[in-house]
Amino acid sequence: MLQYPLVLVPALGCDARLWQPVIDRIHDFVECVVVQGSGDSIESMADDVLAQAPDRFYLAGISMGGYVSLDIALKAAGRVAGLALLNTSAIAAPPDRRQSSISVIELAESGRFDEAVDRVSGAVAPARPDVTALAAAMARDLGAQVFTAQQRAVLDRRDRTSEIAKIAVPTLIVAGDADAITPLPLSEEMASSIPDAELHVLEGIGHLSPLEDPATVAARLGDWLVRIDGRTQRATP
């Protein structure tokens, strides 16, 4: 087993089922812990994840979970041994995304939660009805209160592009070239700004890569974890 556990943070409207296909492929050599941070801001979610996480750990976050993971890596650097960012970015929400979040919040709060869920889940993997269906099921199971709190968190998130050069741990960035929610150039920008970062692009994959291509995501994440764990052990006196 690797010397540190892997904390996995889900995307907006998702739970541990998002990560399970990857966990199934890597749990033999790394302890995996899915932590669902609560709150209506990225910062409060990050604090909640830190309160539940081990003293030192590897960290992987996808989409909203990536925003949370960036916040953790920047304010609790001594606890994070390695950082993986999937289908995410360091920018603040652009105007069209802010308006989208406001619209689905209004739907949910007006008693049209199912419609709000269908709108969001339909955008994550439009070519994969199985992924869309699971995304909708996870969001409904979390409920309207969590859904709206998470929407508020992502629409008000901070721009971290000027800060990510401070991240001093090995960083894996995974992007899908068919991701319409977080386009590839945003991942490329992070990879060029974080000093010890490597970028892997998944062909034909959209926004929920652990469900769309779990075998490749697990292979990339697992290989990276083994490599950085070896580096960390060699550096330890």
Q: Is residue 215's pLDDT more than 60?
A: yes
All domains of the chain in start order, with CATH: 6-90+159-235 (3.40.50.1820), 95-153 (no CATH)
Query: How far is Cα 35 from Cα 16, in angstroms, rounded to an integer?
Result: 8
2 band by pLDDT with thresholds 50, 70 and 90: very high
82-127 pLDDT per residue, tens: 999 999 999 999 999 999 999 999 999 999 999 999 999 999 988 8
**Higher confidence at residue 232 or residue 112?**
112
11-44 pLDDT per residue, tens: 999 999 999 999 999 999 999 999 999 999 999 9
Query: How far is Cα 102 from Cα 86, in angstroms, rounded to an integer?
Result: 24
Cβ neighbours, 10 Å, residue 185: 10
173-198 pLDDT per residue, tens: 999 999 999 999 999 999 999 999 99
Q: Which residues 6+ apart lie within 8 Å of 237 measured at CB?
A: none
> What tokens does 216 get?
């490749």
* Helix (H), strand (E) at residue 110: none
Of 40, 154, 35, the closest CA to residue 94 belongs to 154
Mean pLDDT value of segment 44-54: 98
Query: How far is Cα 171 from Cα 26, in angstroms, rounded to an integer?
Result: 18
SS3 for 129-175 is HHHHHHHHHHHHHHCHHHHHHHHHHHHCCCCCCCCHHHCCCCEEEEE
Helix axes 144-155, 42-52, angle to 10 degrees: 120
- Cα 7 to its chain centre, rounded Å, is 11
Residue 126: predicted pLDDT: 87
Query: How far is Cα 39 from Cα 36, in angstroms, rounded to an integer?
Result: 10
> What tokens does 108 get?
């949910």
